[in-house]
Amino acid sequence: MNEELNKNEIEQYFIQLQDTICKGLETADGKGLFKEEQWQRAEGGGGRTRVITDGAVIEKGGVNFSAVWGACPEFLKKETGIPATERAGFFASGVSIVIHPKNPHVPIIHMNVRYFEAVADDVSTGKSRLFQSWFGGGIDLTPHYINQEDAIWFHATLKKICDKHSTSYYSEFSKWADEYFYLPHRSETRGIGGIFFDKLTAGKDKTMQQYFEFVKEVGGSFLTLYLPIIEKNRNKEYTDTERRWQLLRRGRYVEFNLVYDRGTKFGLLTNGRTESILISLPPYACWDYNVTPETDGEEEKTLKLLRKGINWAYINP
C-alpha cells in the first residue's frame, strides 16, 4: 500500500515554488514582469499561468502551477492498472517551467516537478482507497550553442544535488533524461540533458516523504542552476546567423514538445487548459529546409554533442 501524503501540503509547496522562481527570474531579467492568469477546470481544480515576454534576457517564458482532479479517463486507468470496471479518480499537481531567452548564447531551460495519485473504489467495502501515488519531474538544459564549460558545471551541480538523497540518482536519472529528451526522427538529443524521473513511489528503499524532499530539492535548484548561466552569457554579442540558428534549434524544441512530451499529452488528454499547456512553445521558430552547417563551425560542433551518453558531470573542466 502506498504511503498517503497530505495533498494540501504538496500543493502549497508548488504554489510557493512558483512564487519564488518568478520573483528570481524577474530580478535576474531586470525588465520583464510576469503576467498572471488564474483559470479553472470544469471537471475540478485549476491553476495559475504566469508568462513573461520581451524582457531584457527572456524573450518568452512560462511558469505554470496547476492542481487538477476528477474522474480517471480510460488512458489513466490503463496506465495505473485500475480495472476498467471500477470507478476511479485522480489528483495531479505541479509546477512546469520553460524559458526561451533572446540571446542565442543563453540556453533554453525546462523544469517540471509534479505529484500524481489515483483513487479507486474498493469493490469489497464500497469505500475509496489510494490506488497509486508518485512523484515525477526533472530539469534539463537546451543550448542553441553548447558551451562545454557550462554543460559540465550544470551536470556537476545536479550530481551534488542528487547525491544528497542517493548516490545512484544522478547516474540513473541523467541516463533517463538522455533517453527521454531524444528526437528519434532527428537522431539527436534535445539538448545536453539533465535529470528526469517518473513514478517515484514508496517501496523498500524510500518513503513518499523522502521522495517529496528530493522533489523539493530539485525544485529549489532551478535558480541556483540557471541564474549564473544567464549572468555569464546574457551580454555576449551575436550575429544574424547565430540568431537564425537559434530559431532552427527552437524548431527542434517544438517538435519534441508536440510529438513526444508526456506532460503535453497528459494535459491535452485530461482536458487541461490549452493556452497554459502550450506556453512551452517559443514566440518565434523556423524550419529551413535541409540545413547543413559549415564544416568545423560552431553549429556543427553543437550538433556533434547532441547525443546520448556524454558523462558531463565526470569531465574535468
Rounded Cα–Cα distance for residues 267 and 229 (Å): 30
Q: What are the residue ranges of helices labelled H in the chain?
A: 7-29, 74-80, 148-163, 169-180, 208-220, 222-233, 240-259, 262-269, 274-277, 298-304
Q: And the C-alpha cell for 56?
A: 531584457
Identify the sign of the CA torsion 199, 200, 203, 208: negative
Report the 10 Å Cβ neighbour count for 127: 7
90, 69 Cβ separation under 8 angstroms: yes
Please identify which of the residues 110, 155, 165, 185 carries the catalytic annotation. 110
Rounded Cα–Cα distance for residues 10 and 196 (Å): 20
Rounded Cα–Cα distance for residues 42 and 292 (Å): 48
134, 198 Cβ separation under 8 angstroms: yes
Pairing of strands 188-189, 45-53: unpaired
Rounded Cα–Cα distance for residues 59 and 102 (Å): 5
Active-site residue flag, 110: yes
Tell me if residue 15 falls in helix, strand or coil: helix
Residues with catalytic roles:
110
